[in-house]
Each structure stands twice: as structure tokens, then as C-alpha cells.
Structure 1
Amino acid sequence: MKYLVTLKPRSKFFFGGDRTFTAQERQNYYAHSTHFPQQTALLGMLRYAILNERGFLEEEEEKEKLVGATGFDLEAVSHGIIKTISPVFLLEKQAVWLSAGLDRQGDIVLKLSESKTLRLDGYDAKKGLSQYFISSDNSSESLKKLDDFFKDNPQVGNAKDRKGQTQPDAFFKHNYKSFKRQEKINYESLFAFGFELETTEEIEFSKIKTVFLGAESSFTIELTPSNGIFETIESTNQLLKAKEASNHKIVLLSDCFIPDLGVLKSYSSFILTDKPVPFKFNINKQSDYYTSINRSNQYHLLSRGTVIYPKDITEVTELIEASIAFRTIGYNHYQIQAR
């Protein structure tokens, strides 16, 4: 069964990645939300929502069959009835907005020349590169920047003890995010988060209407039939790989884990990317999930929007797809496009 999962924020939201609201975090003074939730957070939210919908089965064996024994693991590709999760994307009514690639910069033209050097026309080094998004069905030819979707919501405060006394080094500033809204109509959010979910059996969220994702962030969840967005992209990718398309590029539609970047570089003529995305995940034993949370080592992922100009398109795509555990929950997804 394939579904489109829509997450509509009920208010501002905060996705911390590796940075969360702890006493230690407040001592760092400033914490800012990422624009997108981690795919591991989406997996955890789904597992909890499915268990909640089914009434929190008492038998551990039944829970394991339903949502798997653990959350994300480098070796695990089975999560009960959850078969795959797509990368999270942006929704505007019926339009799906995906990364256009870092070589799409509005008035700036970035192209790889015959000598394998990057030509930048109209580039301002002081401004750097921006993340642009494009409608997946080309219903809109215009590009949108992150600032067209999101709004910053800074909040300043200080931590106090039980007696109301301000604690040392307790002042902090948190920068929440929210979607832009229709202020002149009904002040509803113009956008929402979405992702595709494939399950091995039919599910519904008739009891569950609200889910929690990130720090102090709640969302209305909706489950509808999927139009096969990433299925269509994958089908096109396979056709282009079969033709051994030589004049094509690869755009990452999600953050991507590559165990050895040196190998990727050897397969590529050029890689245009942003700063790496830090990534950790919880390591928990099922028996002590609520009492002990351990963290994995830190990994660094290539950011969504990264553009790879491959020497051999098959070698590069096989390397991206090799990390099955990541790909199963929505990382390591890409789109092959003409240069």
C-alpha cells in the first residue's frame, strides 16, 4: 500500500537535528531549527502513531511485527509493516516542491565546461549559493527559494530553577521556523511537509489526528493515496541509466550518506555541494528504551541539492544506492537530469 503523508504544522516548529532543548543546549545560548525534520524522526513518529492507532499492543512480539524491534540502524532495513519512506518534501496544495539542485540559482548560470571546470555567470561570492526548489510535475516553471516557504521565529528566554531564580549561564535564544501564511484570507499556512509511505498492509489514522515531531512541535497528520511521485522519478532514472546517458547530472533529492567520499570523487568529474549535514541516531535496546538512550557516532551526509557530474553514471548511482538502510527511510534519493 502506498500513501501520501501530509504534515500540517499547528504552530511554529523546531527541528534540532543533533541540537535539542537541554540544559547544556541552553548554555550554548543560540540554537536554530533546521528547515526539514530528519528522516529518522519521521520513522520514529510513524512507528509511534501506528502503535497508538492499534492501541499499543501489549505483546512485544506483536509490536515487533507491526513496527520492527528498533528504530533506525545501519544494518536494519526492516521496520515491521513500514516498507519504505520517501524523502520529506514541501507541499503547496497539490504541488510537490523538490530540490532543483545547487546549480539552479535563478539569474546565476552554473555549468560544467568541456574542460571540466565550473563556469559561474552572475555569481556573488558574498551571497553564496541558495537552495532552490521546483515543482515535481513542472506545473510551475518558476523556482522558489527556502525563504519563499519559511519564516524565522526567534524566541529569547532564560532558564529558572524551581524557586524561580535565574540559573547561571541560562540565557538562550531559539530560532523556530514556521511556514508563510495567507494573512489576507484566513491566515492558514500556505505550505505543509509531505512524504510518501509504502506499507506491507493497509493502515489508517482514524484515531490519530495530531503527531509530535521535533522539540515542542505538533502537526496535523493526513493519510491519502499516493500519486507515485518517487516511483515516477525512479522509473525515469532507470530508463536514463539503461541508455547510459553521458551528458547528464545527478541531483540529490535528500541528504545522502556515502561511506567513502574519495570513491565518489573518483567516479565524478565535479561535485557541487553545500556544507555537510551532521547526522546521529539513537541506539536503544527495546527493554530499556525509556530509561537509556545512547547516541551513535557522528556521520556527515551530503546535503540535498548536491549536484554530481558523473564520469560513469552507473558507478555513481550504485554507490548512492548501496546504503540500503539509509535509502529505505528516505535518504540517498536522487534524480538524473540533463545538464
Structure 2
Amino acid sequence: MATYKFTLTPIDKFYFGKEKHPVRPSYFLESNPFPQQTGLLGLTRHYLLLAKNVIDDKNEWDKLIGKKGFDGTPKTYGKIKKIYPVYISDNHNNYYYPVKQLDNLFFVNNTKVKVSYNNRSIKNLQILATEEASVKQTNQLNLKQSFFKDAFLKNDENYNNLIPFYNELEKYTTPNFFGIKLKKLNSKGIFIKHIQPGITKNYEGEKKEDAYFKTQYLKLHKGFSFSFFAEVDEVLDEKNILFMTFGGEASVYKVRVKKADNEVQNTPFGKKTEGNIFHFLSDAIIKSDVFEYVNQFIGETQFFRALKIGGKNLKRLYNIDRKPEKINEYFTSSQLLIKKGSIAFVDKDHEKDFIDALNNDNLKAYKNIGYNYYKQLKNLDV
């Protein structure tokens, strides 16, 4: 058994799927900045087939990558035993984790919080959001809406010295927040926005009002890549560099692997931490009633996405504004995730309850492919 670091460097722009409302579609489509872990599992399985030159030999598939992809039930995937959360890396072996920018935020008290398909009033929960959100959403706050600025934390550095997501220099004026002295963000960002217009052709010649649209792709600044660790019971050639399509628009990535048996323990994924402040290093599956343990929350939710392939049938395991479809006892097609980078301030008396909820036995299948990872802190001024 060995742990490998997979590094994915996009050759050009890329696009990771994001839900579009079925009734009120927007003409503006935005890429998610990160792929979901289910997609990385699929890429890892595909990589092994290519690296071992058995892509055309289906007799070898089950042993190498397992019979089936992710479906929410506990299993391993052939030689792939475990996958850790995706993060951003650079050429100097630094790692970057998303975090919500703790600036210009206001308390929104006693709101109904949409953390599942049923609105739930969470008693004594304080939601932190921008001033715009606090004004417009006085009765209900939908955590799927982006009311926060995203930033990156480099390695285990101070939370008051963050790196912005995008190549937009902005000044932040709030002098103090939860005892943190905020500074101006210290670089030109990691992602670059690339907006491209498009048109949907109507081959019948009929007029189509919503034919025109814009797509916001993303690029990475030179020197940055996506990375994740995977435990694989197979020897992989570190000199073997593959070019693979991944994500929307068949974007091309340069994929490299490197043996990294001792690296995981030097990252927050492998370190044991303590404290009642939870910084989510990955997307996390959590039931809405767990918010009873949370005093303050800075974060958002997003839909779970996965593709279930059986024979010639392709099933999309996600659903927008529909009744949840139960796939099995562990899985529904409309599972909501707490978005990586979110921060929860948990009541100290319920810290263990919160941890137990994140590590529930029914969620082992998700944890095994990189969901529900977090870092605990005693304070954010570290």
C-alpha cells in the first residue's frame, strides 16, 4: 500500500459543473472552483486503467478499479483504497485551503436557514453574512447563495493573512472581527476568471429568447495546480505523465503522480487538532439538526453531484428543487453539502456531538473518498 499525490494542472481554461435552476435558468453560467470528490474518484479510476495499459481489457477492470463507481454504499474501488480532499498546490510544495473571508460581515439573527429541502428554524443560531444579505434576507437566509468572499489559507499560516481567490485586489477596512486583526489580502489571487459568450442554435429556425448566454470559465495562475492524495495498492510510475480530459467542456489536464507516504501527516488531513471552531477542508455532509450545536456559522451549501453508471445506463445522482429520490439507505439524490471553506463556531458543550455527526458510520463511504474533513481550532487568531 502506498500513498500518492496526484497533481492536476489545467492546460487552459476549465469548467466544473454547477446547478442551474430548472424553472428560471440564468443566461450566466459559472464554473465551480473545485471538482467534487466523486469526480476525482472517477479520474483516479480512469488514470489507473491508462497507466496500467488495460483500458481496452475489461477483464482487468474489476480487480484494478472495482466493479462500480460511487453510489453511497461502503466499498473500496479495486486497488484504490482511499482518496483525500482536493486542494490547491504550487511549485514549491505549499498547499492552499479555501476559507471564508472574515470581513465586512454582519450577524443575521433568528432567521430560517435553508440547509435541507425543508426550511428549519435553528434556535439561537447566528448566521454571519454580508450587509446586503442581512438587509435582503431578514426572514430567511438561503445558504446556497454566495454572501461571502472566498479566500485561501496557505499551509498553516495565520488566518488574518489570507490569499484571495481571484485576481482582484481589494482593500478590507474592518479593523477587528472575533479578535482578529484583518490585513489586506496579500497577492493577486489563484484563480483567473475567463468569461466567454455563447449561443444555443435552433436548427428549426425558430426564435429562441434565451439562446444567448455567457459562461464564466476559470484558469489557474501559472505555478498553481489541483492536488489530492490517494492510497493505492499498486505501484505507479512517477515518471509517467498523462494528459487527461476532466470536468466540463472536456478540459485537458496534465496529470502527474508522486509517492507521498509521509506527506499526508504534515497536512491538516493527517493532523489531530482540537477546538470548538471547525474549518471545513472539504465539502461535508451534515444533517440540519446538527446546527442546533452551532452558535455562529460562516458558510454556504451546495448540491452533491455524482454519476452512477451501470451497464449502458447513466444516472445523474443529483437533483434540483425536486423531491429527494432515495437511492439506498445511505444516499439521496438531493443531498446538500456544507461547502469547503465554511466555518462553524460550535457550542463547547456539544463539540463531541458535532464531531460524532460528521463521522457517523453511515457516512464512511463519503469520508473514504474525501468528504467530511475539517480542522479544529481554539481561536482563529493563530
TM-score normalized by structure 1?
0.78
* Deviations 1:64-108, CA, capped at 9 Å, x for gaps: 1111111111113311111111111111222101134x3x52687
Match of 2:190 in 1: 149
Q: Secondary structure at the match of 2:300?
A: coil
Residue 257 of structure 2 is aligned with which of 216, 223, 226?
223
Residue 248 of structure 1 is aligned with which of 273, 276, 286?
276
Residue 369 of structure 2 is aligned with which of 308, 312, 329?
329
Asked if the contact 1:160/1:167 (under 8 Å) is kept, the reply is: no
Aligned residue runs from structure 1 range 152-301, under 5 A:
152-160=193-201, 168=208, 169-180=210-221, 189-204=222-237, 209-216=242-249, 217-226=251-260, 227-229=262-264, 232-237=267-272, 240=274, 248-258=276-286, 260-262=287-289, 264-266=290-292, 268-285=293-310, 287-288=311-312, 292-296=313-317, 297-301=333-337
Q: Secondary structure at the match of 2:131?
A: coil
Q: Which has the higher helix share?
A: 1
Match of 1:113 in 2: none
Q: Shift of residue 138 of structure 1? A: 3.2
Match of 1:183 in 2: none
Residue identity over aligned pairs, in percent, reads 24
Q: Secondary structure at the match of 1:126?
A: helix
In structure 2, relative to structure 1, the CA distance for the partners of 1:318 and 1:202 (3 Å cut) is farther
Match of 2:330 in 1: none
In structure 2, relative to structure 1, the CA distance for the partners of 1:52 and 1:117 (3 Å cut) is closer
Q: Secondary structure at the match of 2:284?
A: coil
Match of 1:184 in 2: none
* Deviations 1:99-142, CA, capped at 9 Å, x for gaps: 34x3x5268799xxxxx88698xx85138432222122439973
Asked if the contact 1:14/1:34 (under 8 Å) is kept, the reply is: yes
* Deviations 1:17-43, CA, capped at 9 Å, x for gaps: 446xxxx99x85331111111111111
Q: Does 1:338 align with 2:366?
A: no
In structure 2, relative to structure 1, the CA distance for the partners of 1:192 and 1:207 (3 Å cut) is closer
Aligned residue runs from structure 1 range 75-94, under 5 A:
75-93=73-91, 94=93
Distance 1:295 1:119 in 2: 32
* More moved, 195-204 vs 227-236: 227-236
- The AA in structure 1 aligned to 2:78 is G
- The AA in structure 1 aligned to 2:256 is E
Residue 102 of structure 2 is aligned with which of 88, 105, 110?
105
- The AA in structure 2 aligned to 1:136 is N
* Deviations 1:296-330, CA, capped at 9 Å, x for gaps: 22221011122222333222122112211111111
Q: Secondary structure at the match of 2:355?
A: helix
* Deviations 1:231-287, CA, capped at 9 Å, x for gaps: 6535532x63xxxxxx531111011112x221x123x232414331112322221x2
Distance 1:298 1:306 in 2: 20
Distance 2:200 2:373 in 1: 41
CA RMSD of aligned residues (A): 3.2
* Deviations 1:146-200, CA, capped at 9 Å, x for gaps: 111111111112234689x7973432221111113xxxxxxxx131111111112
Residue 132 of structure 1 is aligned with which of 138, 148, 151?
151
Structure 1 alignment gaps of length 5 or more: 111-115, 181-188, 241-246
Q: Secondary structure at the match of 1:196?
A: strand
Distance 1:56 1:71 in 2: 17
Q: Secondary structure at the match of 1:284?
A: strand
Match of 1:35 in 2: 33
Match of 2:138 in 1: none
Aligned residues: 303
Asked if the contact 2:86/2:226 (under 8 Å) is kept, the reply is: yes
Asked if the contact 1:53/1:208 (under 8 Å) is kept, the reply is: no
Match of 1:319 in 2: 357
- The AA in structure 2 aligned to 1:248 is N
Q: Secondary structure at the match of 2:33?
A: coil
Q: Secondary structure at the match of 1:250?
A: strand
* More moved, 57-66 vs 248-257: 57-66
TM-score normalized by structure 2?
0.70
In structure 2, relative to structure 1, the CA distance for the partners of 1:117 and 1:174 (3 Å cut) is closer
Asked if the contact 2:38/2:305 (under 8 Å) is kept, the reply is: no
Distance 2:65 2:158 in 1: 36
In structure 2, relative to structure 1, the CA distance for the partners of 1:149 and 1:49 (3 Å cut) is same
Distance 1:254 1:82 in 2: 19
Q: Shift of residue 211 of structure 1? A: 1.3
Asked if the contact 1:211/1:220 (under 8 Å) is kept, the reply is: yes
Match of 2:342 in 1: 306
* More moved, 210-219 vs 54-63: 54-63
Distance 1:63 1:49 in 2: 12
* More moved, 51-60 vs 308-317: 51-60
